[in-house]
Amino acid sequence: MKQYILLALSICLFTVTNAQKAKIAPAKTETKTFVVSASTAKDLPEGVTYTNNKITLKAGYKFETVQSNGDIKLVNAKGVTTGTFRCGCSFNSTTKGPCSFSTAGQVLTCTGSTCCVMQTTIDPPKISDMQMKQN
């Protein structure tokens, strides 16, 4: 009889310890910044597509200008910023010149001097945003 009780307790203990080892993917916690190009298009923030040096919005997203620095925020329907775009000369460029965003409806481009490139920054989602997404 003791053997059956010990066996039952062993099975319960094994089940409990394995249940606590459930694999949960950690939340992304690092900010990612890169130059937008055909090779990095797959890494763009959620809500946009990239074609022919143009960023195009998907349904449910909008662009908002950051008044303090002229950056463009990508905002979803819930008001959550999913990424930020900046237009300026590339870091390794020997030429400098004026760069600015041009928007036409749902399309965003970086225009100006030949040194102009578009960069994007993707911030990790806040815990509250991840909880809203799960609901």
Dig out the tokens for 21 from the structure: 């080892």
pTM: 0.68
Residue where the block lists tokens 């001097």: 113
| 50 Cβ neighbours under 8 A, 6+ residues apart | 36, 38, 41, 44, 56
Q: ∠ CA(23), CA(27), CA(29), 5° rounding?
A: 140
H or E, element range at 109: strand 107-112
Write down the pLDDT at residue 131. 47
pLDDT tens-place string over residues 39-76: 999 999 889 999 988 999 999 999 999 988 889 999 99
pLDDT tens-place string over residues 3-24: 766 666 667 556 666 655 555 5
Q: What is the CA radius of gyration of the chain?
A: 24
| 51 Cβ neighbours under 8 A, 6+ residues apart | none
Write down the pLDDT at residue 21. 55
Write down the pLDDT at residue 124. 72
Average pLDDT, the chain: 80
Write down the pLDDT at residue 127. 54
DSSP symbol at 36: -
Q: Where are the domains of the chain?
A: 28-134
